[in-house]
Amino acid sequence: MKDSVAYTENKPEDHAYNQLISEDNNELSTEGHNHHGHPETRHKVNGPSTQTYRLTTAILGILCAVLMATVIGLCVSYKGLSEEHIVLSQNSSETNGNMEQLKANHDLLTAALMKLQRSFQEAVRAKDSMQLVRNRERQGKELLQRQKEALVNEETQLRTRITALEKSCERCPVGWELLRSSCYFFPPTESGPKLSWHRSREECKKSGADLAVIDSQEKQEFISSILARMGPIYRSWQRGYWIGLRDVETEGVWKWLNGTELAKGFWFDREPNDMYSAEDCAATYARENPLKSWNDAPCDYSLKWICEKKL
Ligand code: 2F8
Ligand code: CA
């Protein structure tokens, strides 16, 4: 009942509520005492509107408090976010700086890489060029090696030949003539003695030789050339040279000193004739035809001689 005033006797269970109302609405209430001596409170009841106001005020207060708390919370949160934003901004700036530095470093590295690539390509070209030079040098070296080997072989052959010649020259005594592996000696035509076949052989043996065995056309031509070189050709039977050929064992069977039978002789025409049945030793003479220059004569006849010594 709006705007009505009521006096009520407080119940124990209503005391606390009324106390609160009383305290909150001093100005709106009057106090008295009931007949029991208890304080009697008279309340001026404001009605639903007042309570609503009070409740609304309380709610508003609470809401204000909540709002304040929310604002404070938001402020704190904002402050945190702001600080975080500042930190992030700083980090972003720092990151941007780092990115710029990284980009600059990347550019430098790219330039260095390109420079290295150019250097590498130049090195590859230089290497190829050097390889070509080395290949040419190797080919030249191989050619020189082959030439050297050929020269070494030629030198070896020449040295072998020189050694053989030196040995031959060394082994043929002075005044002796060399043909292949034998040395031949011819006594002077115009001086010195003439001797029988046996004495002549002994002279040869004194030199470690023996009367010459002319068992080939080459030897005959060689000896004839030496005789022709020693002086003019005299058609004399006294200018002969004993050789190592006889037919003492069997007439007509001519044998060399080494025991081999004569195969081919270089006799004058109509020789050997064993004149007076006394000619068993053979001699050679200086004549125009070297292949017809032998005669048989008495073994005790005095002639020059030809010695032969094998190397
Ligand atoms: O007519 C050939 C004849 O000539 C000389 O005798 C006259 C020779 N005598 C000497 O050489 C010693 C023969 O042998 C030769 O057959
Ligand atoms: Ca004769």
Residue 234 Cβ contacting ligand 1 at under 6 Å: no
Residue 293 Cβ contacting ligand 1 at under 6 Å: no
Last residue in a domain, options 79, 97, 120: 79
For residues 186 and 300, membership in a common domain is answered with: yes
**Nearest-CA residue for atom 14 of ligand 1:** 297
Is residue 96 domain-resident? no
DSSP string, 231-281: S-----TTSEEEEEEE-SSSTT--EETTSPBPS---BPTT----GGG---E
Is residue 154 domain-resident? no
Is residue 261 domain-resident? yes
What is the model's pLDDT at position 303?
Answer: 98
Give yes or no for residue 1 having a pLDDT over 70: no
Is residue 279 domain-resident? yes
Per-chain mean pLDDT for the chain: 84
Q: In the chain, how many domains are there?
A: 2
CA atoms of 27 and 46, how far apart (whole Å): 12
Residue 305 Cβ contacting ligand 1 at under 6 Å: no
Give yes or no for residue 34 having a pLDDT over 80: no
How far does Cα 295 stand from its chain's mean position? 77
Is residue 238 domain-resident? yes
Query: Residue 166's pLDDT band (boundaries 50, 70, 90)?
Result: low
CA atoms of 19 and 39, how far apart (whole Å): 12
CA atoms of 213 and 11, how far apart (whole Å): 186
Closest CA to 183 of 212, 161, 224: 212
Cα(33) to centroid of ligand 2, in Å?
213
Query: Residue 72's pLDDT band (boundaries 50, 70, 90)?
Result: confident
Residues 252-291 have pLDDT tens digits of 999 999 999 999 999 999 999 999 999 999 999 999 999 9
Give yes or no for residue 92 having a pLDDT over 50: yes
- Residues spanned by the domain of 25: 12-79
What is the model's pLDDT at position 48?
Answer: 59
Closest ligand to the CA of 280: 2
Is residue 51 domain-resident? yes
What is the model's pLDDT at position 50?
Answer: 80
Residue 230 Cβ contacting ligand 1 at under 6 Å: no
Cα(43) to centroid of ligand 1, in Å?
208
Residue 238 Cβ contacting ligand 1 at under 6 Å: no
For residues 75 and 184, membership in a common domain is answered with: no
Q: Look at strands 304-305 and 240-246 and give their pairing.
A: parallel
Give yes or no for residue 185 having a pLDDT over 90: yes
More confident residue, 236 or 166: 236
Q: Are 278 and 298 in contact (CB under 8 A)?
A: yes
3-17, 64-78, 109-123, 198-212, range with the lowest pLDDT: 3-17
CATH code assigned at 226: 3.10.100.10
Is residue 136 domain-resident? no
Closest ligand to the CA of 272: 2
Query: Residue 20's pLDDT band (boundaries 50, 70, 90)?
Result: very low
Cα(259) to centroid of ligand 2, in Å?
22
- For ligand 1, pick from 196, 275, 301 the residue to mutate: most ligand atoms within 8 Å of CB: 275
What is the H or E stretch that residue 141 is in? helix 48-171
What are the distances in angstroms from CA 50 to CA 54, 188, 201? Answer: 6, 185, 186
CA atoms of 82 and 72, how far apart (whole Å): 15
- For ligand 1, pick from 285, 295, 300, 301 the residue to mutate: most ligand atoms within 8 Å of CB: 295
Cα(5) to centroid of ligand 2, in Å?
209
Task: Provide the 3-class DSSP secondary structure of residue 179.
Answer: strand
More confident residue, 292 or 51: 292
Residues 209-246 have pLDDT tens digits of 999 999 999 999 999 999 999 989 999 999 999 999 99
Q: Look at strands 182-185 and 210-211 and give their pairing.
A: unpaired
Cα(276) to centroid of ligand 2, in Å?
9
Residue 237 Cβ contacting ligand 1 at under 6 Å: yes
Q: What is the CA radius of gyration of the chain?
A: 78
What is the average pLDDT across 177-202? 95
What is the model's pLDDT at position 169?
Answer: 63
Residue 285 Cβ contacting ligand 1 at under 6 Å: no
Which ligand 1 atom minimizes the distance to the CA of 273? Answer: 16
Residue 92 Cβ contacting ligand 1 at under 6 Å: no
Give yes or no for residue 5 having a pLDDT over 50: no
277 conformational bin, left if phi > 0, alpha if psi -120 to 50, beta if neither: left
Q: Are 308 and 212 in contact (CB under 8 A)?
A: yes
Is residue 240 domain-resident? yes
Tokens of 200: 């002549």
Query: Residue 21's pLDDT band (boundaries 50, 70, 90)?
Result: very low
Last residue in a domain, options 46, 63, 79: 79
What is the average pLDDT across 171-187? 91
For residues 72 and 186, membership in a common domain is answered with: no
Last residue in a domain, options 62, 79, 96: 79
What is the model's pLDDT at position 270?
Answer: 98
What is the model's pLDDT at position 15?
Answer: 45
Query: Residue 144's pLDDT band (boundaries 50, 70, 90)?
Result: very high
